[in-house]
Amino acid sequence: MTSPRKHLVKDFNHFITCYVCKGYLIKPTTVTECLHTFCKSCIVQHFEDSNDCPKCGIQVHETNPLEMLRLDNTLEEIIFKLVPGLREKEQQQEIEFWRKDGPRSKRSRLDDDDDGAGDGDYHRSDPQIAICLDCLRNSSLVGENIVKGLMKKFIRCSTRVTVGTIKKFLSLKLKLPSSYELDVLCNGEIMGKDHTMEFIYMTRWRLRGETVTYYRPAVRCLVL
């Protein structure tokens, strides 16, 4: 009876190394258009100068390829289990970076978390999405003069952000009364307050190839 073959880490290098930097994938990030995966920092830096995948050359997005990226947390855990000491090495390098070069040291941020001052990360490590918030003009709606367009319509946020949070953001930016409500629409459909941006992207935006969201005064608030 033959004994099972033992695999070495190098046997898996083709699957767990970055095409750009040739090192192990750190914060592995997948391009949704072609499913190629790179280090997050490598692919973000690459997209500063190009809209094409560095491996296969396919155009990822005409204007903003960053919105087609998704973090692969499962692959990250697999790599950390396969490569001894890699997690600890990266954590130590990150701490050293923030201590030396960051505006605030990582240690200081961790201390703030221990004191309950905040979540420290603020969802920056989540997959991000760029969306456009446009005011839906309709002269037949009462209160149209209150709701204006944003000076900066494009925002970048976590895919976990909900429609409810977008409404709060709009209310603050537009300085609306606390009792005033907005409807957020996509493809002419009012979105529920618990819908996340990822859910909307997968069920609405991806089919149309756009990430435009409209807002307007909530109809239910206009009935006197």
- Look at residue 219 and tell me if it is in a domain: yes
**Are residues 133 and 92 part of one domain?**
no
Contact (CB, 8 A) for 180 and 151: no
The first and second tokens of residue 104, run together, are 């605030």
**Are residues 132 and 95 part of one domain?**
no
**Are residues 143 and 217 part of one domain?**
yes
- Look at residue 44 and tell me if it is in a domain: yes
Single residue among 99, 120, 139 that ends a domain in this structure: 99
Q: How many CB atoms within 10 Å of residue 188?
A: 7
- Look at residue 216 and tell me if it is in a domain: yes
> What confidence score (pLDDT) does residue 39 get?
93
CB proximity list for 193: less than 8 A, separation 6 or greater? 162, 163, 164, 167
- Look at residue 120 and tell me if it is in a domain: no
CA distances from 141 to 147, 170, 175, 185, 218 (A): 11, 18, 19, 15, 9
The domain containing residue 56 runs over which residues? 9-99
- Look at residue 140 and tell me if it is in a domain: yes
**Are residues 91 and 155 part of one domain?**
no
**Are residues 95 and 133 part of one domain?**
no
| Rounded CA separation 110/156 (Å) | 25
pLDDT in 10s for each residue of the chain, 224 residues: 566 667 777 788 888 999 999 999 999 999 998 999 999 999 999 998 899 999 999 999 888 888 888 988 899 999 998 888 888 888 888 888 777 765 544 444 445 444 444 445 556 677 888 888 888 766 454 445 566 777 788 888 888 889 999 988 888 888 888 778 888 888 778 888 888 888 888 887 766 655 667 777 764 433 32
**Are residues 172 and 85 part of one domain?**
no
The gap between the terminal CA atoms of the chain, to the nearest Å, is 83
The candidate with the shortest Cα–Cα distance to 167, out of 137, 197, 142, is: 197
How many structural domains compose the chain?
2
**Are residues 95 and 132 part of one domain?**
no
Q: What are phi and psi of 26, to 5 degrees?
A: -110, 125
Specify which residues 134 forms β-bridges with. Answer: 214
Residue 84 sits in a domain whose CATH number is 3.30.40.10
- Look at residue 189 and tell me if it is in a domain: yes
**Are residues 210 and 132 part of one domain?**
yes
> What confidence score (pLDDT) does residue 224 get?
25
> What confidence score (pLDDT) does residue 211 get?
60
Residue 157 sits in a domain whose CATH number is 3.10.20.90
**Are residues 94 and 134 part of one domain?**
no
**Are residues 77 and 38 part of one domain?**
yes
Contact (CB, 8 A) for 65 and 78: no
Q: pTM to 2 decimals?
A: 0.45
- Look at residue 62 and tell me if it is in a domain: yes
- Look at residue 111 and tell me if it is in a domain: no
Distance of CA 89 to the CA centre of its chain: 25
